[in-house]
Every structure is written in C-alpha cells, then in structure tokens.
Amino acid sequence: MGNSTFWGPDWDSLQNQDPEIASLLLKELERARGGLQLIASENFTSPAVLAALGSTFSNKYAEGYPGKRYYGGCSVVDEAEVIGIERAKKLFDADHANLQPHSGASANIAVYGAFTKPGDTVLAMSLAQGGHLTHGSPVSFSGKWFNPIGYSVDPKTELIDYDNVRDLAKQHKPKMIVAGATAYPRLVDFKLMREIADEVGAILWVDAAHFIGLVAGKAIPSPVPHADVVSFTTHKVLRGPRGGMILCKAQHAQAIDKAVFPMMQGGPLMHGVAAKAVALKECATPEYQQYAKNVITNAQALSEGLKAEGMRPVSGGTDTHLVLLDLTPVGVTGKDAEKRCDASQITLNKNPIPNDPLPPMTASGIRVGSPSVTTQGMGVPEMKQIASFIAQAVKSESGHDKIADEVNKLCKAFPAYPQKY
Ligand code: DSN
C-alpha cells in the first residue's frame, strides 16, 4: 500500500476520468463550506471516515456475518466488522450490535422484521407531532403493513404526554412501543417508556437516530439499559458515514441479525461498516465527549438567540442538538423561511410544529441543528451571530445576497475540512 492516493479519495484520477462528476463533488464541498449547515440531521464526518468510505472495501461481497459468510475472501472484512461490533458494544454498553443496516429506514425495517408480523399494532409518536415516516406514516411501509397508533405531545407544554402514551398502550395493546422522533427537542423519559411497555407486555424500541451521538458523547442519558432494541443512523451528531446500526439485548441478537440479513438486506456495504468502526473509535475520545456537550450548549444558545428575535422555540427550548421554531409570531411560513435562508447561504429545513394548521410542505416552523457548526469549531458567540443572520433572512423579502456575504465571512473563519483534502 503506502500510496494513500491509491485507495483513498483520489481527486486527480477522478478529475481526469470524469471531470463532470469531479467538478460536482468539488462544487458540493464548496457549497457546504461556503454556508451554514443547520440541518439537524447532518454533520461533517472526518477525513478518516471518508477515506474508509472511499476504499476497496466497497468491492467486497460479504453476505452473512463474520465467520459465517456466503462468499470466500471475507477474512479481512470480517476483522473490520468484528472491531466495529466490539467498539459499538463497548461505547454504548450494549449486549449486541449490528452494523450492517444501509440506512436508518433499513435498520427500522429490520426492527419490525425481528419483532412484529404484518397487521400488528405499533404505538409511536405521530409524524405530525415530531415522529418519523417509518413509525407508522400511511405513505411508509410502516403505515401500509402495520396498524399504527400515534401518541402526541401535550398541547400546552409540547412535551411527550406520557399519560396519553399509557392510555393508548392500555387501549390498543401494541406489540411494540416506539420512543424517538425527528423533531422533538427534549429528552425522552426512557425509564417511564419501559414501565409503560412492561405494563402492556410490549417490546420497547428506541429510534435514537437523532440523539445517539449525544449518548455516545455521554452528554445525555442512554436508552440502552431500558430498551429491547435501539436503532439509529450513524451520520447525524454521531458524525459517522451515512448508514444505520442496531443495538439490542442479548436475547434479541439472533432475531435482529436474521432480520437485517437475509430478511431485509443482501450484501452489506463493507466500506460503510469499516467507516462506522472508524467513527465509533472517534466517539470514544474525550474530544468527542466535549464536542457532544458543545453541540447542546450551542443549540441552547441558538434557541435563546432566535427567541430574542421573536421566533417561538417549541417546548420553550432544547435539551439536545435541535431547535424547532414556530414562526407564527413573525408571520412567515416555514416554506418561505427555508427559501429565504437558502438565498442567504443558510441551509435548514421547514418543519411542521405540533398541531400545525398548515400542510407539511408549507409548515409553520423551521428546524435548526448545531452538529455541523459545532464540528467547525463555532461556539456561543457564533450562535448569537447565526441567530441574527437567520432572523434577518427570514424576516426580509430581499437583500439576501448581503446576508450571504456575512455568512460566508463567518464560515471562512471556521472552515469545514480545513486540512488540504
Ligand atoms: N431525514 C431525517 C431527518 O432529517 O430527521 C430523518 O430520517
């Protein structure tokens, strides 16, 4: 080996062979570097993770699990997968880990596959209240093949209404109860969710995609001791490659592994598995633990800054990496806010708020997250600046170029990928 450009990302050969795609890759890098990336589910993964993704592991078929593959030549990828599994078990203090799901949705299909049959009842937070498509939306397999029951947040506090969860659980006797969401800024009481699941004999599944990175960094409590199974994506706060992962209790290990392969997937993406292992090693460092704490401090500063600008943080604030903002007080829809921010080089997404009177593609709110800007090294003073940029962008019908110039200046001072890459 020795020559890192042979197997790592090799811009020169890509540029020569396919300048069209090469220029788009560089253009995307510049887009991301030139503006503020505030999508709560995105991050800047490390060059080491990217190198594993751009490796010859991508070539290897490895259906099965370490030591039990359907193809020859798997001894090397076996080693990497075992390292990754052991790192995951240690980091999260979990009995069992499966690193093969291609994505969060794939991981979630496997959870259904392990614990339910079509037609079974599953109780989860409604999509309209902050849940996820795979938790029972009618447009997803989960709503088409299962009988989803949705729980809500309390309309006043906008916190999960655990009495509502318990009442629905007793009424519908679900096979599985889901904790976890895509637009819920607060901590979930996993112990209470476990108690409710036990009262009705349900499996407790925590979809930890959004906050597992904060758990890895020991910045918030872990769902692992309470849940039968925890699924998540590896590319959000966790800062790994795009992909999924599942942790579970020992008694469910076989069911989960069988549901991932062969029930739901074929050949695993071994470059992704190796990259997950790299990310898990990074997560076990003191630097990452500090990062996870900073992510929360920054999200809280953003929340305060945006509140001071007249936007209403749903539930009054955040305990995590994301802030959900009701824009009704400033008289702008989520759709328009997203567009105006885009024109100002601020990337975020429109988002329904609980009990939103507007349709999801218009929405009354926006969702902002701190994982990427925290990776860039920004702190509380920059969050105040960012809140001001967002407010200027959202409230103005023109002049976004000028805001974009200011945004660009800030981003240049905290470059993503400062190393020559
Ligand atoms: N798309 C993810 C998010 O942005 O929350 C969830 O799948």
Same domain, 97 and 141: yes
CB-ligand 1 contact for 104 (6 Å cutoff): yes
- Interatomic CA distance for residues 91 and 89, integer angstroms: 6
Q: What CATH code is carried by the domain that includes residue 312? A: 3.90.1150.10
Question: What is the Å distance from ligand 1's center to 183 Cα?
Answer: 9
Residue 121, strand partner residues:
147
* 126 & 74 share domain: yes
**Does 4 score more than 60 pLDDT?**
no
Q: Decide if 258 is inside a domain.
A: yes
Q: pLDDT by residue (tens digit) across 235-264?
A: 999 999 999 999 999 999 999 999 999 999
Q: In this structure, are residues 198 and 99 in contact, taking their beta carbons and an 8 Å threshold?
A: no
pLDDT at residue 3 is higher than 90: no
**How many domains is the chain partitioned into structurally?**
2
* Banded model confidence at residue 271, pLDDT cuts 50, 70, 90: very high
Query: Could you write out the DSSP letters of every residue in 219-266?
Result: SS--STTT-SEEEEESSSTT---S-EEEEE-GGGHHHHHHIIIIII-S
Q: Are residues 273 and 303 in the same domain?
A: no
Indicate whether 81 and 221 sit together in one domain. Answer: yes
DSSP β-bridge partners for residue 69: 64
Q: Which of 42, 132, 242, 338 to mutate to test the pocket of ligand 1 (most atoms within 8 A of CB)?
A: 132
Task: Report the nearest-CA residue for atom 5 of ligand 1.
Answer: 182
> 409 and 292, same structural domain?
yes
Same domain, yes or no: 245 and 376: no
> Confidence class of residue 418 from pLDDT cuts 50, 70 and 90?
confident
CA distance 345 to 403: 8
Q: What is the pLDDT of residue 8?
A: 57
Residue with CA at minimum distance from ligand 1 atom 1? 41
DSSP code at position 404: H
pLDDT of the residue at 11 = 77
Dump pLDDT digits (tens) for 326-384.
Answer: 999 999 999 999 999 999 999 999 999 999 999 999 999 999 999 999 999 999 999 99
Domain end position, chosen among 254, 283, 312: 283
Q: Can you give the residue range of the structural domain that contains 409?
A: 286-413
Domain final residue pick, 283, 305, 320: 283
* 303, part of any domain: yes
Name which residue sits closest to atom 3 of ligand 1, judged by CA. Answer: 41
Domain with residue 141: its CATH number is: 3.40.640.10
pLDDT tens digit sequence for 72-96:
999 999 999 999 999 999 999 999 9
**420: confidence class by pLDDT, cuts 50, 70, 90:** low
Query: Are 294 and 399 in a shared domain?
Result: yes
- Whether residue 291 is predicted with pLDDT greater than 70 in this model: the reply is yes
CA 413–ligand 1 middle distance (angstroms): 28
Do 140 and 274 fall within a single domain?
yes
User: pTM of the full predicted structure?
Assistant: 0.96
User: Is 41 touching ligand 1 by the criterion CB < 6 Å?
Assistant: yes
- For 123-139, the pLDDT digits (tens) are 999 999 999 999 999 99
Last residue of a domain, one of 242, 262, 283: 283
| Whether the CB of 35 sits within 6 Å of ligand 1 | no
Instruction: Choose, from 218, 242, 293, 307, the residue flagged as catalytic.
Output: 242
Residue 52 identity: A
Q: Would you mind telling me the total number of residues written for the chain in this entry?
A: 421
pLDDT-based confidence at 2, cuts 50/70/90?
very low
- Supply the pLDDT for residue 252: 98
Beta-carbon contacts of 274 under 8 Å, excluding residues fewer than 6 positions away, are: 52, 55, 57, 77, 80, 84
